[in-house]
Amino acid sequence: MRVLSGIQPTGRFHWGNYFGAIKQYIELQHEHDGYYFIADLHALTTIRDPSLLRANVRDAALDLLALGLDPSKATLFVQSHIPEVSELYWILMTGAPLGLLERCVAFKDKEARGIKADAGLFTYPVLMAADILAYDSQCVPVGEDQNQHIEVCRDLARSFNAQFADTFVMPTARIVKDTAKVPGTDGQKMSKSYDNTLGLFEDAKELRKKIMRISTDSRPMEEPKDPDTDHLYQLYSLFATDEQRQEVRAIYERGGFGYGDIKKRLADAADAFLNPLRARRAELASDDAYVAKALEDGAHRARKVAREVLSRVQKACGLT
C-alpha cells in the first residue's frame, strides 16, 4: 500500500508534530511504500522570505532524517521539485466547484479570525489533492482536522473520473487519533500559533528551562490529583516507560508531591529520548551531500510516478 504524507516547513518541529503525527508516519515506512514530502509550495501562503523558506526546508529534511525516516525505505522529497504536481493542480482547479472550496475549514477559520486569507489558502485543498493524486496514493494519514481535505480530494478525483475516464486512484484517510493529545506548556494543544511549544531539537538547557516553567494548577501539594486530566503527566507519558508511568500515576493519586519533581522527571526523560536524536541530527548537518542526495533520489522516484499519473490525466482530458 502506498502511504503519502506532507509537512509544511513553517518552523522547527516540536513534540506535538512528532508524537501527534511524524512518529506514526515514520513507523509506516517499515510496512508500506511511504512517500513523504516537504510542502514548500504550501508554505508560501505564510512565508514570504526566500532565505527563511530555504533554511526551513533544509531543517525539515534534517529533522525528518534524524527522527528515523530512512531514504532506503521511504521516498523523501521537496514538493516544488515535482513540477507535475503544479500542472495537475491547475487541471483539478478547472473542475473544482467554488462552493466546495468556500466550505473548507482552514479558509473559513482564518476569515472568522480576521486574518488575511489569500487565493493560495482558498485553493489549498486543491493543491493538497494534487499532492495526493499525483503519486497514486492509497492511504493518507491525517489528523481529524485535516480529514475534510481528503474528502475534497476524493470529490475532485471522483468528478474527474466520472467526466473523463477512470484515471485516479481513490485515496482513503487514516485518522491519526493522537494529534489532539499532545498538550503545550499552557495545557492547550501544542501549536506554534499558541506559542506553547517544546522543540524536538532545541538546546537541552533551554528546553529544561521551558519545562520547569510549564504552568500548573495551585492545588495543595497534599491533595490527590487525577493524572489523566493533568497536562504535565500527559507530557511525561510521551517519554516514560510503562513502569515509570505507573510509578508517577501512583504519586498523583496518593498526593503529597510538588509539580517541580514531576517537571524534573519530565526533563530527564525527554533528555534521555532526545539526546541520541540530537547527536544524529548534528552528524547529518555536517554531511550536506548525504542530505542533498536523499532529496534528489526521492524527487527522482517521485517524479517518475507523477509523470505517469499526469500522462494519464492529460490523455483523459484531451491535453495530448
- All three cell numbers of 7, joined, read 509537512
* CB 184 within 8 Å of CB 16: yes
Q: How many CB atoms lie within 10 A of CB 308?
A: 14
Q: Could you confirm whether 192 is annotated as catalytic?
A: yes
Give the CA diameter of the chain: 75
Q: How far is CA 302 from its chain centroid?
A: 19
Find cell 505517469 and name the residue: 308
Q: In what order do the strands lie in the sheet with 2-7?
A: 74-78, 33-38, 2-7, 139-142, 172-175
Q: Is 293 a catalytic residue?
A: no
Return d(Cα 98, Cα 141) in angstroms, integer.
26
Marked catalytic residue, from 73, 110, 210, 264:
110
Burial class (CB in 10 A: 0-12, 13-18, 19+), 314: middle
Taking residue 268's Cβ as centre, other Cβ atoms within 10 Å add up to 14
Q: What are phi and psi of 6, to 5 degrees?
A: -125, 155
Q: Which long-range contacts (CB under 8 A, 24 or more apart) does 248-252 make?
A: 252/224, 252/225, 252/226, 252/227
110 in active site: yes
- The answer to whether 100 and 152 have CB atoms below 8 angstroms apart is yes
Catalytic residue among 23, 73, 181, 192: 192
Q: Indicate the SS3 state at residue 87.
A: helix
Smallest CA-to-CA distance from 249 within 270, 233, 264 is with: 233
Active-site choice (23, 189, 210, 264) = 189
Residue 298 CA neighbour count, 13 Å, CB half: 28
Q: Cβ contacts of residue 221 below 8 Å, gap of 6+? A: 255, 256, 257, 258
Task: Tell me the residue type at 248.
Answer: V
Catalytic residues: 110, 189, 192
